[in-house]
Amino acid sequence: MKESLGNLKKAARELYLLEHTQATVSWDQETQMPDAANEERSDQLALLEGIMHQKLTSPEIGRLLSALGADDEKPEGKGNFDIEDKAFVREMYRSYSRASRLPEKLVTEIARQTGLAHSSWVEARKNADFSLFEEDLEKIIELNREKAGKIGYKDHPYDALLDEYEPWMTASKVEEVFGPLGKNLADLTARIAKKKQVETSFVEKKYPVDKQNAFGTKVVEKLGYDFGRGRLDISAHPFTTTLGTNDVRITTRYDESLVLSGLFSNIHEGGHAMYEMGVGENIQGNILAAGVSLGIHESQSRFWENMIGRSRAFWEIFYPDFQKTFSKQTEGVSLDDFYKAVNRVEPSFIRVEADEVTYSLHVILRFEIEKAMLSGDLKVSSLPDEWNRRMKSLLGIVPADDSEGVLQDVHWSAGLIGYFPTYALGNLYAAQFMNSMENQLGDVGKIVRSGDFSSILGWLRENIHQYGRVYPAEKLCRRVTGESLNPDYFMHYLENKYGEVYGLRGN
């Protein structure tokens, strides 16, 4: 057994290095590469992808995993290993079995179809005409159904897809959490809508991009992002990528007229990066050295972005500097007015621009629709009507056309079904973790007001980051908070914060 484990680690190490090589090539494509180089770059990436797939699904890895006794019932194998080695076998088995169950023909077909669908989605969105995308989406749903069948599931095909992004999570568990959450969020949104809206004209002014960059860079560094092991660049869509144990990079984008969007992007990606930078030395350099699930990953970015970055205490510390940097734009704007502007709540059509309260409603809508499409309960042709009906019932608004409705996200065209729930799960985990943090460290606002964030980052490292993928999300959540995922903490956090921002109390 020991020898098999050693050999599996050797093979996994090569995969790990290849993955980071691919990340490097891909980072360059998104940030530095001249457009003209795109065609060969796509070939380079496809080649690496193919080599990695071959390595991962090789008979050798299959043999080693079965020698270690890993199977569906016991993915961690039967070896008498320590907790990290068991987790290592479990994660290798997971990757291997998911990849080897998909026939090459299906993988190629999905790649081909998503290529086509991307073009038709771009066209459809540009023309606000869903019918241009309908046929391609139908094929993508069909292929995803086939994929789920090959991977296997107990209750719902959605489980097999969701598991790729949120390992060991099921659709029924998500439903159990999203059901009451949706009602509570819709109710809070409706109560806020009855109140006087906060003033935001001053954050819509023009803010020079170079100053935004200087300020945003300073903020992420102060929060704990280590520029000695990473860097910040500009890309079309902000992202975080790990190129090596000591190389976790973030990107952002700035727009003169969207000062808050750029800043909160920086903080958000910084949160993702600090997670990956914080994995324990004992698991560095192998498959465990990464976020355990997209939901937990998102909990780290949203914790820093929303719970810290949009808190009053944060702006007590940073507003004087912000005001000095942008004196013309913020002239006569008090801290209180600025804080409220940062936390404006309003039902809107576009998910990525949504505030903290309404954001998860956009996700719940997508989750329910994906599930219904996959099971065949919802025909793709009825999708726009269904979308609008649900928008009306959850957010009380109906988009004027499909480009600000059902066509707004790239995910479905890219074949990503089962991805959306992780965004909302992140909000829930973040609030639940913060509750535990406060139980142990005391008032987080007070720490933030001190301007020294190291005890907050230290707590996250000790309780979450250092473990990487050692504990599955559910187990990690129980270890950190003493219970499994519970949406009450998030609602409690929102009620408290927005009760104060909008003066909801006493009504």
Nearer to Zn ion, 271 or 415 (CB): 271
Residue with tokens 């250092």: 466
Binding mask 174-213 for Zn ion (x = CB under 5 A): ----------------------------------------
Nearer to Zn ion, 26 or 301 (CB): 301
Q: How far is the CB of 491 from Zn ion (least distance, A)?
A: 21
**Amino acid letter for position 342:** V
Nearer to Zn ion, 113 or 301 (CB): 301
281 contacts: CB under 8 Å, gap ≥ 6? none
Q: Is 269 a catalytic residue?
A: yes
Nearer to Zn ion, 252 or 301 (CB): 301
Task: Pick out residues in 223-282 that bind Zn ion (CB under 5 A).
Answer: none
CA distance 356 to 429: 14
CA distance 150 to 15: 24
Annotated binding site: 268, 272, 298
H/E run at residue 491: helix 488-501
Q: How far is the CB of 173 from Zn ion (least distance, A)?
A: 21
CB 220 within 8 Å of CB 270: yes
Number of residue whose CB is nearest Zn ion = 301
Total binding residues toward Zn ion, as defined by CB under 5 A: 1
CA distances 496 to 158, 440, 500, Å, are: 34, 20, 6
User: 179-202 as b/e, with b when 16 or more CB fall inside 10 Å?
Assistant: eebbebbbebbebbeeeeebeeeb
**CB burial of residue 352 (10 Å; 0-12, 13-18, 19+):** exposed
Taking CB under 5 A as the criterion, the residue among 4, 299, 301, 481 binding Zn ion is: 301
189 contacts: CB under 8 Å, gap ≥ 6? 345, 347, 357, 358, 361, 395, 396
Structure tokens belonging to residue 52 = 């990695």
Binding mask 87-116 for Zn ion (x = CB under 5 A): ------------------------------
Written as one string, the DSSP assignment of 199-232 is P-GGGGS---HHHHHHHHHHHHHHHT--GGG--E
Q: How far is the CB of 426 from Zn ion (least distance, A)?
A: 7
**CB burial of residue 506 (10 Å; 0-12, 13-18, 19+):** exposed
Nearer to Zn ion, 286 or 301 (CB): 301
Nearer to Zn ion, 83 or 410 (CB): 410
Structure tokens belonging to residue 201 = 């004209």
User: For Zn ion, which stretch binds (CB under 5 A), given 35-43, 182-190, 298-306, 307-315?
Assistant: 298-306
User: For Zn ion, which stretch binds (CB under 5 A), given 3-11, 137-145, 254-262, 294-302?
Assistant: 294-302
Nearer to Zn ion, 85 or 305 (CB): 305
User: For Zn ion, which stretch binds (CB under 5 A), given 83-91, 256-264, 301-309, 315-323?
Assistant: 301-309
Catalytic member of 76, 91, 166, 269 = 269
Q: How far is the CB of 435 from Zn ion (least distance, A)?
A: 21
Q: Where are the alpha helices (DSSP H) in 343-453?
A: 359-375, 383-395, 421-441, 444-450
Q: How far is the CB of 116 from Zn ion (least distance, A)?
A: 27
Structure tokens belonging to residue 333 = 């704007």
Annotated binding site for Zn(2+): 268, 272, 298
User: For Zn ion, which stretch binds (CB under 5 A), given 58-66, 299-307, 330-338, 406-414?
Assistant: 299-307
Tell me: does residue 293 bind Zn ion (CB under 5 A).
no
CA distance 414 to 117: 7
CB atoms within 10 A of CB 269: 25
Q: How far is the CB of 272 from Zn ion (least distance, A)?
A: 6
Q: How far is the CB of 422 from Zn ion (least distance, A)?
A: 9
CA distance 341 to 349: 19
Catalytic residues: 269
* Contact set with Zn ion (CB under 5 A): 301
